[in-house]
Structure 1
């Protein structure tokens, strides 16, 4: 009232001294505007009321500059087909995933700006919350064979109301992005974002449970009914290809979403969560199947599933802010719930890296296709692939402005016997970083990543049968070690 009264007094003085009605009106408007935008303290710091409404708004985001060494796509080491652009020389597709040539780029740069817009409104039925995170980035190597350029970046957009969540958010199979101590997205452990329709029930004392319907497209690793495309002929001569090595995906159309559920306990000491998922695997029958005259003449429907356990311990007795995070997962016909892609948005259907030579004997490395299900030549039907993953992360503060993150992870994929061009494979990773915070919300960090892809057979050209029943050769097997990493400068606001 005092400031409003002062405004009217100033307006009156202006009129008395002949400043004119326009100036007086401007003074009153300015005073009203000062009163109109108010801080919203009900939901924490940074919120303010949208003028004329009871909705609180918070703006945030970040600006980051990354330099990746032997890595692409947010520190993703080049060991899967979601990071295949690392294997192409600038301007032309010399070789696609998993082939590495002498012309492959040794480094990549990315600058990204992200804006987060969050609103909260208290209603008679509970709080309505929306979150939209989006931005744009510039890459020095945007796509295979494509020169540097900018592209839009979409991260998350969802609505929460009365326990319901609808939109693109963290999968309810994992604990969310808040629990990650490294800059890379690891290969062991689930980190997927997805389109969800979920309900969360709060039972008090930090106990909650969620049930979620989630888009199966983001979780479908693939269905392999034929051999992987060959990189070498039977005689061992290299076949140059810009598209790389892969297999024809016999995934049937989506008919059911994944059913995901979790039970979670949040306490002052940390978090404990158990989760599970059901995933339908629809597989088209290849022409090699009995009584099938064309692809898709019939189909197999299998039920894939996954279970997971997550726990985070807060360790202030070691140093303020110290934390330990453990995750374990098992999957049958739902491999994406193990991780295996190095990104929270895209799934991978192949692992490895092959340093090419003029012949297979002069090449080294590894390539293994992975799929939710693979064609079995003995049973003339599909069999699901299984796997498990275990990982640990530790964050330690050396001092309030200097911290480190350490990650160790291992994921194994088991392929049924007598299947088409597929073999067991595992991925081991170790990550370490050092991050300096010289000013509030400003991070300057470096990270080093060691990745190993290994399997049960040596790298070789192997005869296999295609989906039509014809004989072909596929390059599979082997092992490889990849060192990668980079540097990041990020300002959060």
Structure 2
């Protein structure tokens, strides 16, 4: 006979079982739940190799890029203002002067990422594209030391035949087999709003509005060659004078309209052919010495134009990958379309170089660049130019290729403009690239550049904004041999 309280046997048994299982229940609560099936990245074959679907979306993405190391010998761009570098040490002489402060070589490291995203819609493919990154330069500018900078090649959106953003100008093809950007011919990146109509069988036509910023060269004042003073050694900048500037006064007006660019293009397995045209507005302000009460308030404008013809002919019967590229350009009041930029994003105002020694000036050349030249009456006339370029690339083996290239550009300043000089510039070069493994290029290049003018290097009295005379060197001839070494890995 029990003297204590008792519970039903079933309840007692359940309590004992719960006590025994409690630790295991706690452990089970800590175990992870069964994982959901992972969504694997799927290949997107619609747009070619390298594209994959972004998980959970219908957008196809390709990611790539490249890393590069360049070494330029004799600074390949010594002829162009904006690309030439005066030494970072003490020197009163900037472009176009060359002296012992200027480095004989220049190095650059650049890393670029490429992102291409595409989505198929009821209205066609929606595409966004970016290619850019960072670079390090051993000299960041005239009289400046090393440093890093952002670098952008492309940033655009395409949809239904429309293109908006920063990309290759629709005037150009963007084809080039050289490391250096050739002076002859057009090859410019720009912001654009364009429409391309596809007619089938590789035939298309484009109409674009492009920012004139990378195409505007300037409007230069004219001068009178100083009578009785023709030796460059008498130039006051060198002999301890006032330090007069070398550029003609630039009367470029404010940008009011974009360039209008159109092309007609045919492309196939055989290569491509493109015809292009452009309209470029030239704006000039009236200087105070010609009656402007406030400089920069009064301006006038007129339209220049440019024409271009391009062809790439593929030559597989010589060797796989062989091709010949030809380009011809003409411009009137739109000088950049004929070349002389020495870079995809450059717009220059002068070209040439003058070598210095301890006794004064040696031989050299210096020429201002302009879309138009203003006369003494305040009216201005367009500057004309034409250019031809040829490049040939040959594959000795699948991993070894060479290219030979050259170009000629002629700048014609109106003959009735006193002191403004016409000149011609030509280049010839060769390079060889070895690819020991896929996507790795190791190359060397040599380029000869010459500029020839009708007049010897001498002094011109250019006109300042207030009408006073500015002694300015202009004319002459010069040449240079430059080179480059490139190592690049694409991925």
Task: State TM-score, norm by structure 1.
Answer: 0.88
Q: CA deviation at 1:256?
A: 0.7
Q: Which residue of 1 aligns with 2:372?
A: 373
Contact 1:81 1:98 in 2 (8 A): yes
Contact 2:127 2:159 in 1 (8 A): yes
Q: CA deviation at 1:246?
A: 2.3
Separation in 1 of the partners of 2:105 and 2:164?
38
In structure 2, do the counterparts of structure 1 residues 433 and 241 end up closer, same or farther at CA, with 3 Å as the change threshold? Answer: farther
Separation in 2 of the partners of 1:486 and 1:413?
27
Matches within 5 A, 1:79-94: 79-85=79-85, 88-94=86-92
Q: CA deviation at 1:183?
A: 1.1
Q: CA deviation at 1:36?
A: 3.4
In structure 2, do the counterparts of structure 1 residues 61 and 241 end up closer, same or farther at CA, with 3 Å as the change threshold? Answer: farther
Matches within 5 A, 1:263-342: 263-289=264-290, 291-342=291-342
C-alpha offsets along residues 385-407 of structure 1, whole Å, 9 cap, x if unaligned?
00000000000001111001111
Q: Which residue of 1 aligns with 2:42?
A: 38
Contact 2:186 2:336 in 1 (8 A): yes
C-alpha offsets along residues 18-43 of structure 1, whole Å, 9 cap, x if unaligned?
99676654x734xx33x332221111
C-alpha offsets along residues 33-81 of structure 1, whole Å, 9 cap, x if unaligned?
3x3322211111111111211111111110001111012xxxx421010
Separation in 2 of the partners of 1:382 and 1:202?
41
Find the residue that maps to 1:42 and give its secondary structure.
Answer: helix
Contact 1:131 1:156 in 2 (8 A): yes
Contact 1:338 1:411 in 2 (8 A): yes
Alignment partner of 1:196 out of 157, 174, 192: 192
Separation in 1 of the partners of 2:117 and 2:91?
45
Q: CA deviation at 1:218?
A: 1.2
Q: Which residue of 1 aligns with 2:208?
A: 212
Q: CA deviation at 1:312?
A: 0.5
In structure 2, do the counterparts of structure 1 residues 222 and 464 end up closer, same or farther at CA, with 3 Å as the change threshold? Answer: closer
Find the residue that maps to 1:217 and give its secondary structure.
Answer: helix
Alignment partner of 2:55 out of 37, 51, 55: 51
Matches within 5 A, 1:213-252: 213-225=209-221, 234=235, 237-238=238-239, 245-252=246-253
Q: Which residue of 1 aligns with 2:8?
A: none
The reply to whether residue 465 of structure 1 matches residue 463 of structure 2 is yes
Q: CA deviation at 1:297?
A: 4.6
Contact 1:264 1:272 in 2 (8 A): yes
Q: CA deviation at 1:298?
A: 2.7
Separation in 2 of the partners of 1:471 and 1:345?
33
Find the residue that maps to 1:288 and give its secondary structure.
Answer: helix
Alignment partner of 1:60 out of 64, 82, 106: 64
In structure 2, do the counterparts of structure 1 residues 425 and 238 end up closer, same or farther at CA, with 3 Å as the change threshold? Answer: farther
In structure 2, do the counterparts of structure 1 residues 22 and 208 end up closer, same or farther at CA, with 3 Å as the change threshold? Answer: farther
Q: Which residue of 1 aligns with 2:385?
A: 387
Separation in 1 of the partners of 2:236 and 2:322?
56
In our comparison, the structure showing a higher alpha carbon Rg is 2
Q: Which residue of 2 aligns with 1:184?
A: 180
In structure 2, do the counterparts of structure 1 residues 19 and 140 end up closer, same or farther at CA, with 3 Å as the change threshold? Answer: farther
Q: CA deviation at 1:145?
A: 1.9
In structure 2, do the counterparts of structure 1 residues 64 and 381 end up closer, same or farther at CA, with 3 Å as the change threshold? Answer: same
Instruction: Name the Cα RMSD after superposition.
Output: 2.4
Separation in 2 of the partners of 1:131 and 1:192?
18
Q: CA deviation at 1:420?
A: 5.8
Q: Which residue of 1 aligns with 2:93?
A: 95
The reply to whether residue 110 of structure 1 matches residue 114 of structure 2 is no
Separation in 2 of the partners of 1:444 and 1:241?
48
Structure 1 unaligned runs (5+)? Answer: 1-17
Separation in 1 of the partners of 2:215 and 2:268?
30
C-alpha offsets along residues 237-292 of structure 1, whole Å, 9 cap, x if unaligned?
44599997323321111111000000000122110000000000010012232x43
C-alpha offsets along residues 342-383 of structure 1, whole Å, 9 cap, x if unaligned?
1001111111010023565x4211000010011123x54111
